[in-house]
Amino acid sequence: MVFFNSNNFIAMRISIILLLSVILLSCGTTNKLQTNKSESNFTESQIELIYSDKVTAPMRVLLITDPKDSIILRTNSKHVYVNSNDSTLNYFAQRLYSTVNNPNNPGVGIAAPQVGILKNIIWVQRFDKDKEPFEVYYNPQIDKYSELKQTVLEGCLSIPDIRDSLNMRAYSILLQYDNAKGEHICEMIEDFTAVIFQHEIDHLNGILFIDHLEKEREASGNHDLK
Ligand SMILES: [Zn+2]
């Protein structure tokens, strides 16, 4: 995801906190991502792609305008078995980080399918934390969405020349994921950072922000997607 547009909902904070308290009561009830399996995460061709350049080298970002790329971007990604000693997984995560931090094409988030690796791995810039660090998430899944929405301008590294505001993103989400140590975490995320998670997790399910844009335009009676 590319663009940043901070919206403040300060006036609604109290009601949000109450809402989130209710949401958090259900945290940890769906631990189905937890696994102790140890399996090879990558195919030979994926390993070849991952090690095709140095770890600091950005990978090629797939584009929706390329028919072959588009098929991959529309495919669901798969579960990844997290093991902190998996050197290929660590190498790939670092290359994905190098890609979202490419000074020539920087983003605030990226998903593994955007570089042609159909695995449930994303990087998200945490604007809700001090120093706004980038963090990696394995097998992220959104369990709950707040009723409250936010309107945010979005763009995508895989979609050239289109940026537009969506009105359908939840203000807060309840997220579960595996961290780089293989620990299973349940966390509530809000505000703009929650939009980045929603955008990147959509990628893992073959969904792009222009899909939501199209639905919103159809609902409002404007069928033209620029
Ligand atoms: Zn994107």
Q: How far is the CA of 33 from the centre of ligand 1 (A)?
A: 23
Backbone CA torsion sign across 195, 158, 129, 84: positive
Q: Across all residues in the chain, what is the average pLDDT?
A: 88
Q: How far is the CA of 207 from the centre of ligand 1 (A)?
A: 9
> Is 165's pLDDT higher than 80?
yes
Decide if 160 is inside a domain: yes
Tens-digit pLDDT profile for residues 107-147: 999 999 999 999 999 999 999 999 999 999 999 999 999 99
Decide if 104 is inside a domain: yes
The pairs formed by 26-30 with CB atoms below 8 angstroms and a separation of 24 or more are 26/143, 26/144, 26/174, 27/143, 27/174, 27/186, 27/188, 28/186, 30/143, 30/176
Decide if 158 is inside a domain: yes
Q: How far is the CA of 14 from the centre of ligand 1 (A)?
A: 31
Decide if 95 is inside a domain: yes
Distance CA 170, CA 192 (A): 10
Distance CA 71, CA 208 (A): 12
Q: How far is the CA of 206 from the centre of ligand 1 (A)?
A: 10
Q: State the residue for tokens 């620990």.
A: 183
Query: Is residue 18 a contact partner of residue 24, using CB atoms and an 8 Å limit?
Result: no
**What average pLDDT does the segment 144-163 reach?**
97
Decide if 12 is inside a domain: no
**What average pLDDT does the segment 14-38 reach?**
48
Decide if 49 is inside a domain: yes
Domain count for the chain, please give it.
Answer: 1
Which range of residues forms the domain containing residue 85?
Answer: 41-219
Distance CA 82, CA 87 (A): 11
CATH number at residue 202: 3.90.45.10
Q: What is the pTM of this model?
A: 0.85
> Is 80's pLDDT higher than 60?
yes
Q: Quick check: is 214 catalytic?
A: no
Decide if 127 is inside a domain: yes
pLDDT of residue 40: 79
Confidence of residue 3 (pLDDT cuts 50, 70, 90): low
Q: How far is the CA of 86 from the centre of ligand 1 (A)?
A: 26
Backbone CA torsion sign across 173, 165, 196, 75: positive
> Is 226's pLDDT higher than 80?
no
Tens-digit pLDDT profile for residues 27-55: 554 444 444 444 579 999 999 999 999 99
User: Which one of the listed residues 44, 48, 147, 200 is annotated catalytic?
Assistant: 200
Decide if 87 is inside a domain: yes
The Cα diameter of the chain in Å comes to 52
Confidence of residue 75 (pLDDT cuts 50, 70, 90): very high
